[in-house]
Structure 1
Amino acid sequence: MNEQRYTVGVVQAAPQYLDLAASVDKAVALIAQAAQDGARLLAFPEVWLPGYPWWIWLDDQPRPALVQRYLAQAFTHDSPAARTIAQAAAAHRIHVVVGMAEHEGDQLYIAQWLVDPRGVTLLKRRKVKPGPLEQRVFAEGGEHDLPVVDTDLGRVGALACAEHRHPLLKHAMHLQGETIHVAAWPSFSLAGIPNMSSPETFLAISRTYAVEGGCYVLAPCAPVTQQMRDLVCETPAQAARLQVGGGHAQIFSPTGDPLCQPLPPDAEGILFAEISPAAVTRARQAFDLAGHSARADLVWLDGPLSRKGNA
């Protein structure tokens, strides 16, 4: 592992909602800004391209016009949008992790994509199990969607949103020895919905991941804008449920310390932190789920996920 310190960034900004081309332009500007400020990796929120389908939380209506628009603006890996982002990563010599609604065949997936400073794809994955309401829009991923890959910065992996509440999915990732984990969240902007946790709880989940895995956790998060709210909310009750703001991006150290001064929940920007690979080594000398702290003789993953490093 390269022991030289380096800078990473997380995005707290809204996409140009349901407009893929305009959102890609904004992503390119953020990539350029991050690189200018010295970052070697920039992470975007969940389904940032072309935005999260907030209407699924507001009622049980099918919303066919919004669904068709969403499908038309979704991301594909063989598109001009993909080439533009890869070219931006190469032009600015930076790793980029993007969250998108990926369209393949007749399905949409909650997906994440890592390109390196050459514009080369290192990682593509899909959310293994979308939430119950998300299943109105998105299909499931599969056994190949828990990768951790080698990069110039160390080993990098990613999960999306509520996947971080699933102990076995997290364990499969921890066994692969991440240096950096991207915990992508859409926004913490929903109110008055039973069983929805607070922003503090979700940030605690990201923080816990860092401590359990002995790795850095980059937690990008996008605020909801008034334009997004106006587009998907049809009643005052819906508008009260989906609030403007909800951006709570953060970066956590392998000991769980927050490394950034948070932005206001409705503000946009990039948060930066310095990564020290030696801090990962120190954390795992104290506790290593894939090493001396493991008890694979008592508890283990079985089936396809056992290939992720469990003996």
Structure 2
Amino acid sequence: MMLTYPKFKAATVHAAPVFLNRDATTDKVCSLIGEAARNGADLIVLPEAFIPAFPVWAAVWAPIYNHAMFRKMAANSVLANGAQMQRIAQEARKHGIFVSIGISEINPVSVGGLWNSNMLISDEGEVLNHHRKLVPTYFEKLVWAPGDGAGLKVCDTRLGKIGALICGENTNPLARYSLMAQGEQVHISSWPPIWPTEKPNPWASNYDIAAAVRIRAGAHSFEAKAFGIVSSGFMDQAMRDYLVDMDDTVAEILDNTPRSVSMFIAPNGKQIGQSLQDEEGILYGDIDIADCVEPKQFHDVVGYYNRFDIFSLTVNRTRHVPISFSPLALEDHSDADLAGQAPLDELAL
């Protein structure tokens, strides 16, 4: 039987959330889904931690000043199977479009436990993959807990084989290889709007996240021979003013830190079409999975261009849970099942 290669239109979002407002941001997500679908997209990709926002405050203030921001972040984070995600899934099914979205996920058994997660939802409204960022990067550790390997999956869909990593995970060769080795053809990477590392001054070079994104996205597409879909957040005036109103000394940092970028990458590592950096919008790209074939002749790192007798990789995809009960314990304490919560395996999707 001859292989067939899907062709489809994808949409990548470069936008700001309604800052730290999960319900209003969910409204915006649903609006963006509808817009992308009306423009013929079969897949829409939204930025890292889009609901409710990326915690840039953890970079600009010491931890002792961030308790109120953390409480607000936790209050506006979402359950992986909560009302906001159910609404987005319904919107995906309504429009017949796949949706990839970054969320700040709240732990169902901890009011202050958060993960940086990415959800891939099918065009029928089913959750295909639920990935928690393996290692929060630098100041992100003050907000999010480490994830696990359960979401290191490539999903075989009518659009092709889709995988996703969050922000700095795209620097991790083993995480990237684990997706390549599952036949990844479309790689989604999601990013924050800015990533401050230095106060602006003539002697220090602040982290140029746009340059870093281009390097990593291009490298992965070139190595995997896969399409890259890059979606970064955007810091709008409302987000900037919210933070500056709390402390006007951060204005210089926020105004002079390089902005991130959204774009498409071909399997040869080259950018497709235009990019978005300094304004909100949706980019569209045409993807033909057949374009992944020819580059595999040159170096196929999960095929002939490897030495499996020398190198090996084992990935633990066990979902982490805080407690497990023996059958006897469950029987003895059936009335105390986490205060009426659903079983953890259901909550973790």
Encode CA deviations 1:84-128: one digit per residue, 9 max, x unaligned: 100110111000001000011221000000111110111111000
CA distance in 1, matches of 2:230, 2:286: 14
1:39-118 equivalences under 5 Å are: 39-62=41-64, 63-104=66-107, 105-106=109-110, 107-118=113-124
CA distance in 2, matches of 1:304, 1:87: 32
Structure-2 change in CA distance of 1:227 and 1:191 (3 Å): farther
Encode CA deviations 1:257-302: one digit per residue, 9 max, x unaligned: 2112123x23111111111111112222322111111222222224
SS at match of 1:139: coil
* Structure 1 unmatched runs, 5+: 306-311
| 2:283 alignment partner AA | L
Q: Is the 8 A contact 2:197 2:206 kept in 1?
A: no
CA distance in 1, matches of 2:92, 2:4: 21
CA distance in 2, matches of 1:61, 1:303: 34
| 1:90 alignment partner AA | R
Q: TM-score, normalization: structure 2?
A: 0.83
| 1:276 aligns with one of 288, 297, 300 | 288
CA distance in 2, matches of 1:174, 1:253: 15
CA distance in 2, matches of 1:240, 1:169: 35
Q: Kindly indicate whether residue 178 of structure 2 is the aligned counterpart of residue 172 of structure 1.
A: yes
1:131-210 equivalences under 5 Å are: 131-188=137-194, 190=196, 192=198, 196-210=207-221
Q: Kindly indicate whether residue 127 of structure 2 is the aligned counterpart of residue 121 of structure 1.
A: yes
CA distance in 1, matches of 2:4, 2:39: 21
CA distance in 1, matches of 2:103, 2:29: 12
Show structure 1 runs of 4+ deviating over 6 A: none
| 2:34 alignment partner AA | A
How many positions carry a matched residue from both structures?
A: 304
| 1:211 alignment partner AA | F
Deviation of 1:181 (Å): 0.8
Which residue of structure 1 aligns with residue 253 of structure 2?
Answer: 241
Structure-2 change in CA distance of 1:303 and 1:202 (3 Å): closer
Q: TM-score, normalization: structure 1?
A: 0.92
Deviation of 1:192 (Å): 3.1
The farther-off stretch of 32-41 and 141-150 is 141-150
Which residue of structure 1 aligns with residue 239 of structure 2?
Answer: 228
Deviation of 1:235 (Å): 3.7
CA RMSD of aligned residues (A): 1.8
Q: Is the 8 A contact 2:261 2:275 kept in 1?
A: yes
Q: Is the 8 A contact 2:196 2:206 kept in 1?
A: no
Q: Is the 8 A contact 1:191 1:241 kept in 2?
A: no
> Over alpha carbons, which structure has the higher Rg?
2
SS at match of 1:230: helix
Identity of aligned residues (%): 28
Structure-2 change in CA distance of 1:167 and 1:189 (3 Å): closer
